[in-house]
A and B are shown apart, each in its own frame.
Chain A
Amino acid sequence: MNAFWLSYLTVREALLKGTLLFFFVVSNIVIIFFLFAIDSTNGDLSIFGNPITPRGIPDFNPVDFLFLNIFSSSTFWVLLFGIFATAGLIPAMLEKGTVELYVSKPISRPLLLLSRSIGACAGIAFNLIYFAGAIWLIIGLKTGIWHQGFLLAALTVIPLFFFYYSVVALIALISNSTGFAIMFALIFWFFSSALNIREMVMYVWWDNVVFHRVLDLLYYATPQVSPMLESATKLIGPDIMKRTGLSETAGFDSLPFLYSLLSSSLLYALAAWRFSKKDY
């Protein structure tokens, strides 16, 4: 119960921080845009009168194409805004004068850290559910197609963000700096994307087996942001990624989520261990 209240306060704190509020405002602008832009009165789906016609992809459902584009672009901004909005929450808890108030309460430090992280992710989750739900409702009402795949894909971004946030939590706890946590999280995202295509991009840097195995180890030992995003996108259409040439396989792959669950658990455990041993 103690942990619940701390998570609740974290959500309130996150909402009061300008970045999350900005996130909410941007979400509303995009929702209003789609409310007025999408039209399917004459049977063809269009945006401001321009029909959605995916060129070069035969028999492609325009609704799938629309959801694919919305999901791909919005997840980028959700993750980016999410990191900016929540990276400061752990350093804020560790500020002198604040940390003493929390660690002197009858709640273990690992639970304190986890509650704070859950609270940070819950703030993002509410915003994401609100945004995805509104978009899904608008397109559903206008086209009569209630696309469950899009909703499922949007929901998978919540655990994805929680796994990704383990990197922020660990770095924020070690550095006690919001700026450093944001910077490291963004570099990690870029690095994670590169690791996803390491055979094509990184192996050629140095043709050495040990180096290749180190890259493989890093890929499996850290949250797999890009593979998770890729896999989530596949929920929008069973073969959508394959047909657009963005992925080699068609179906949803749960392995990146499983690996990320394990690696983020390790990162959270490291952060909790560090937090438990530190003097404040």
Chain B
Amino acid sequence: MPIVEVSNLTKSYTSGVFRKSSIQALSGVSLSVNEGEIFGLLGPNGAGKTTFVKILLSIVFPSSGTATVLNHKLGSIEIRKKVGYLPENHRYPSFLTAIDTMKHFGRLSGIPSRTLAARIPTLLQLVGLADWHKVKIRKFSKGMLQRLGLAVAMVNDPHILFLDEPTDGVDPIGRKEIRDILKSLRSQGKTIFLNSHMLSEVEEISDRVAILNKGHLLHVGTIADITSHQLEYEIRFLSPPPPATLHQLRSFCKSVQQDQTLLHVAVNDRQDFQKVLDILRQEGIEIESFSPRKSRLEDYFMRVISTGAE
């Protein structure tokens, strides 16, 4: 069931007083996010990812198009009651402690003090800041601030979390912990909208992704679809195959690339791959192993961005 529905969303920024210039940040973006999924929004810098999230939260106003979040139209205060948001490069008041920061933003979200008193220690424990709750946040590292930001985003027990680069500046252990938290939230039925440059992380935890470039939506699909093998195989030998054999394979394969004792072959269909194996056996080349080559999200992302289409 879609929890976020966006139709033909467009945003252009104008600048200048006398010579007005316009920058198209989003061009007719339409997508939907389902309840209980982790949805990754990918794109290079300036693709429009942050603008897209800010529009959903009424921080930025769209030039045209419509959107609903949790069945409420954009601009509704009800949306902001039920969502959590971790902005990129956030700046919490540095003179507050972690616990005061959470209390303050919890109160601004309309959460009663008694509920906050019960919820805040649990959230600080969850993000690994329980021992730092009385320390002024000006002493926090970037990674600790990100963890705090995540806890603040969860303080109103939101239905949907919008996270803009949540692991930015976090060490590898912290990143793993944040990924685990996000997976745990998904298992609790929460929906997570993730903006990230960390493609490997997005690949690991997201159910679906969208790729945005220069304001245009290039792809929306499941991670499983993107990373399923595309009739590409890796064959490992004990010794490298002779050039004549490679020449023979290239006559009917889409591509053949040799890297020492490893051969990457892309074929048109499964029969072609059987033919490859037959030829190698006929030539007496000893095969150590072979496996379908799984496409990585990064490969797909680079391909989509460079061609500008799926």
A interface list, Cβ under 8 A from B: 1-2, 5-6, 9, 12-13, 16, 95-108, 277, 279-280
A2 touches B59 (CB 8 A): no
A105 touches B108 (CB 8 A): yes
Q: Which of B83, B91, B109, B110 contacts A95 (CB 8 A)?
A: B91
Within 8 A of A (CB), among B74-89: 77-78, 80-81, 83, 85, 87-89
* Chain B residue at smallest Cβ distance from A108: B77
In the bound assembly, the distance between CA atoms of A5 and B88 in angstroms comes to 24
In the bound assembly, the distance between CA atoms of A102 and B104 in angstroms comes to 11
A279 touches B13 (CB 8 A): yes
* Chain B residue at smallest Cβ distance from A15: B95
Q: Which of B13, B85, B92, B107 contacts A2 (CB 8 A)?
A: B107
A5 touches B107 (CB 8 A): yes
B interface list, Cβ under 8 A from A: 13, 54, 57-61, 77-78, 80-81, 83, 85, 87-93, 95, 104-105, 107-110
A101 touches B90 (CB 8 A): yes
In the bound assembly, the distance between CA atoms of A102 and B88 in angstroms comes to 14
Contacts A2-B107, A107-B108 aside, 20 further interface pairs with beta carbons under 8 A come to A6-B108, A9-B93, A13-B95, A95-B91, A97-B87, A97-B89, A97-B91, A98-B90, A98-B91, A100-B87, A101-B85, A101-B87, A101-B90, A101-B92, A103-B59, A104-B57, A104-B59, A105-B105, A106-B108, A106-B110
A104 touches B80 (CB 8 A): yes
Give the top 7 A-B pairs by smallest Cβ distance, nearest first.
Answer: A97-B91, A100-B87, A5-B107, A106-B80, A279-B60, A105-B108, A106-B81
Q: List B contacts of A97 (CB < 8 A).
A: 87-91
Tell me, rounded to whole Å, the shortest Cβ–Cβ distance linking B101 to chain A. Answer: 10
* Chain A residue at smallest Cβ distance from B85: A104
Tell me, rounded to whole Å, the shortest Cβ–Cβ distance linking A106 to chain B. Answer: 4
Q: List B contacts of A1 (CB < 8 A).
A: 107, 110
Tell me, rounded to whole Å, the shortest Cβ–Cβ distance linking B111 to chain A. Answer: 10
